[in-house]
Amino acid sequence: MIAAKQMTAIAAGCGLLLLAGCNDGPAKRRAEVHEMIATVTSEIQSIDAVLSDPGQTDEVRRRFGRVISELGNTQGAGPGQRAAAAAIAAGVHRRLAAISADDAMKLEAELGSRRTVLIGMLDAVDQFYGMVDGLEAIDIEPADATLVAAREETEETLAATSRRLAELDGPIAELSRDNRTDQDEAQRLRIEAALMRREAAGLGAADGYGAFEEARRIDREADGVELRLAYRELDLRYNYEPEHEIAQIKVDRMRERLDSIAVTRQQLQDRYASASDEAGTTHARLEAMSSAIGAELDELQASMVTVAGLYEEAAMELDRAASKAKAAAGLADKDFADVARIQAAQAYQELGSLHRSRARGLQNQVRLLERVAQVTGTATGEIEGAKGAHQEQLRQAAEAYKNAGIELGRVSGRTARQRLEALKISTSALEAGDVAEEPLPSAAPARRSGRSARSVPTTGAGAESPEALLAAMLDESYADPIDLYYFGNLTPAQADMVDLFTASENTKLAMVAALREWFADDIATADGSLLASMANVNLSLSAVQGDEGTLIRSVGGLEIPVKIVSVDGRWYVDATSALGESADQATALGMSVTDLMKSVNGFMRDLTGRIEAGEFETLQQVDMAFMQALQTNFGAGG
C-alpha cells in the first residue's frame, strides 16, 4: 500500500521526485533497491505507530535492527540510492537512541527522587549527631518542613493531574459510546442496503430501479458513518488515550512519592522521640541510619551503572546516525548532501544534549556525595571520581557540539549559520560550567547555491519582493499563478515538460476551486482532511539570501521547500527546482515525471468533474475518492 506521506507528497506537489537516485546502477538492481527502500519505509512507519507502547520496546528494537540490516544491503546500487538508504538508516539510529535516552531520563528522574530522600535522611542524621551534645538542641523542623513542602507540592500536582484524568474520562467514554453506536448504525445500514438490492433484483431492472438507487443512497450514508467512526477512533487513539495513560502514570508516581515522604516523616518523628527518651541509644540509632544511607547509596550507585549503560547505548546509536548521515552526504548531490549534513549535525547536537543530561545527573551525585562526606565523613574517595566523570561528560558534549558545527559549516544558507551560532553559545555555556539545556532552532531545508549569472527572459511578471511573491501566492483571486514562475535555465528535457507542468498546476487549481465552491464550510473546519489542507494554502517565507530564497509549503503534515529566485529585479518561483535538476534524474514511485504528471492530471480532472457534477455530499467522501485514486494509480492495493 502506498505510504501516507507519499500520498501527501503527490497531492501537494503533483510531481515531487523520489530522492533516492533511481537512475543510477544496473536497472534490475536499481529496482530491487527501490523496492527495498519502499518496504523499509513502510516498516518504519508501522514501527513508529507503536513507539509509545512501553510493552513493545524490545520488539521495536528488534524490528529496527532488521530495518538497519536491510538498509545495509545496497551492493550494486547507485550512489543516490545508497545515499537515501544511509540517510534513512541515520533516522532509524536516532529513533533507537531516543528509546534508550528516554529510558535513561526516566531512571534519572527516579534517581533524583531517591537523592532527595537521601538528602532528607542525611539532614536527619546531621540533626541526630547534635543529640550527643544535648538532646534539647535537636531540631528536626527544617527537615520536616522540607518534606511537608515536598508533600504539599506533590499533593497539588496529584490533584491537578487527577482532575485532568477526570476531564479525559468523559470525552473518552463519550467517544467510545459514539463509536459503538456508529458501528451498530453502519452495520444496520449495510444490511438495509443489501436487502434493498435484493428487493431491486427481484423487481427487475425497470421496477427495481428506485430500490437500487435507494440502496446506493443507504450505502453512501453507511460510508459517511464509517468515515466519521474512523476519524473519531483516530482522535481516541492518538489524542485522548495517550494523554490519559501518561496522566495515570504520573498519578501513580505521585502517590508513590507521597508514600515515601510519609514514611520518611514518620521515621524522622519516631527517631526524634526515641532519641529524646533514650539518649543512651542515640549512637546505635545513628549507626543504623548511617548503614541505611550506605545501603541506599550502594543501590543508587548500581542504578547509576544502569543509567550509564542506557546513556552509552543512546550515544552509540547517535554516533552511528551521524556516521550514516555523513556517508549519505558523501554519496549525494549538493542539495541532498546539505540535508544529510544537517541530519548529521542534528545527531551530534542530540549527542551533545545527551552528554549534558548525563553531566547534570553526575553533578547532582557529586553534590549528594559531598553532603554525605560533610555529615558522615564517608564517601570522600568517590567524590573525585564523580567529578572526573562529570567533567568528561562536559568534554564529550563540547566535542559533539563541535562536530555538529563542523557539519553545519559545510552547509550554505542563513539557517545553517543561525544553528552554528546557537551551537557556539551552547559550547561557551559548557566551557563556563553551565549544563542547562539550550535548544537549537529546528532544521530547515538547505538551499541550492551557485545560480547561473546568465540573464534569461522569464515567462511571467513575477513580484517586486519575496514578501510580495508570498502574498500573491496566498491570494486566492490572483488571475494567473503560473505568471509567478520563472522558466529560465531549463534543460531541453525540462523545457519539454513546461506545458505539462502548466496543465498540472491549472488542474490542481481547478480542483481546489471546485472544493471551495462545494465544500467551503467543511474546508474551513476539517481536521485531518488532505484535500482541505490542499485548499487551505499554508505558505511561509523561510529564508532569503542574495537572489535566492525558500518558501515552506505545509500540506497534510508535510513541509515542502519551494525555491524562489530574483531575476532582473523581480522575484519568481523557480520552475527549474519544481521540475527537478533534470528529467533524466527525476523518477517518482517507479515512473517518469511525465508519466506521473499525466496520471495525476488525469485522475484530478476526473475528480474535479465529479465534484462539479454534485456526486459527493461531503468532503470526507471526496477525500476517500482521492485516496482511492492515488491507490489505484500508485499503490499495489491491500
Mean pLDDT, residues 399-407:
89
How many residues in total does the chain contain?
638
> Is it the case that residue 480 has pLDDT exceeding 60?
no
With cut-offs at 50, 70 and 90, classify the pLDDT of residue 428.
low
Residue-level pLDDT at 226: 85
- Residue 31 CA to residue 590 CA, distance in Å, equals 8
Helix pair angle (241-277, 282-331), 10° resolution:
150
Residue 248: inside a domain: yes
**Which percentage of the chain shows pLDDT scores above 70?**
71
Residue 256: inside a domain: yes
Residue 358: inside a domain: no
Helix, strand, coil fractions of the chain, as percent rounded to 5: 75, 5, 20
Q: Domain boundary at 234, 253, 278, which? A: 278
Number of domains in the chain: 2
> What is the per-residue pLDDT across 41-89, written as a single tens digit (0 to 9) for each?
888 888 888 877 878 888 888 998 998 888 888 887 778 888 888 888 9
**Among candidate residues 180, 184, 208, 207, the one with its CA nearest the CA of residue 195:** 208
> What is the per-residue pLDDT across 448-479, written as a single tens digit (0 to 9) for each?
222 232 233 335 667 777 777 777 776 654 44
> What is the per-residue pLDDT across 488-528, written as a single tens digit (0 to 9) for each?
666 555 565 666 667 777 777 778 778 777 877 676 665 55
Residue-level pLDDT at 348: 92
The residue with greater pLDDT, 409 or 496, is 409
Assign residue 222 the CATH number of its domain: 1.10.287
Residue 225: inside a domain: yes
- Residue 458 CA to residue 456 CA, distance in Å, equals 6
> Is it the case that residue 192 has pLDDT exceeding 50?
yes
Parent domain of 241 = 140-278
What is the DSSP secondary-structure string of 455-522? ----SS--BSSHHHHHHHHH-TT-S-GGGGEE--S--HHHHHTHHHHHHHHHHHHHHHHHHHHH-HHH
Residue-level pLDDT at 603: 75
Q: Domain boundary at 260, 278, 296, which? A: 278
> What is the per-residue pLDDT across 244-301, written as a single tens digit (0 to 9) for each?
788 788 888 888 888 888 888 788 777 677 656 656 676 777 778 788 888 888 898 8
pTM: 0.46
Residue-level pLDDT at 176: 85
**Among candidate residues 470, 393, 125, 473, the one with its CA nearest the CA of residue 282:** 125
Residue 389: inside a domain: no
> Is it the case that residue 432 has pLDDT exceeding 50?
no
Judge whether 357 and 282 are in contact, CB under 8 Å: no
Cell numbers found for residue 4 = 501516507
> What is the per-residue pLDDT across 364-387, written as a single tens digit (0 to 9) for each?
989 989 988 888 887 777 889 999
> What is the per-residue pLDDT across 202-213, written as a single tens digit (0 to 9) for each?
888 777 888 888
Give the DSSP letter of residue 381: H
> What is the per-residue pLDDT across 5-18, written as a single tens digit (0 to 9) for each?
433 443 333 332 23
Q: Domain boundary at 278, 297, 312, which? A: 278
**Among candidate residues 449, 456, 635, the one with its CA nearest the CA of residue 547:** 449
Q: Which residues contact 31 (CB under 8 A, 6 or more apart)?
A: 590
Mean pLDDT, residues 431-437:
45
- Residue 573 CA to residue 472 CA, distance in Å, equals 11
With cut-offs at 50, 70 and 90, classify the pLDDT of residue 127.
confident
Judge whether 368 and 118 are in contact, CB under 8 Å: yes
Residue-level pLDDT at 481: 57
With cut-offs at 50, 70 and 90, classify the pLDDT of residue 305.
very high
**Which percentage of the chain shows pLDDT scores above 90?**
9
The residue with greater pLDDT, 390 or 615, is 390
Judge whether 364 and 112 are in contact, CB under 8 Å: yes
> What is the per-residue pLDDT across 547-583, written as a single tens digit (0 to 9) for each?
888 877 765 555 667 788 888 778 888 776 666 533 4
Residue 84: inside a domain: no
**Strand pairing report for 485-486 and 570-574:** parallel
Q: Round the CA-based radius of gyration of the chain to a whole number and report it.
A: 32
Which residues are paired to 570 by β-bridges?
567
Residue 173: inside a domain: yes
Residue-level pLDDT at 320: 94
Residue 331: inside a domain: no
> What is the per-residue pLDDT across 89-109, written as a single tens digit (0 to 9) for each?
998 999 899 899 889 988 988
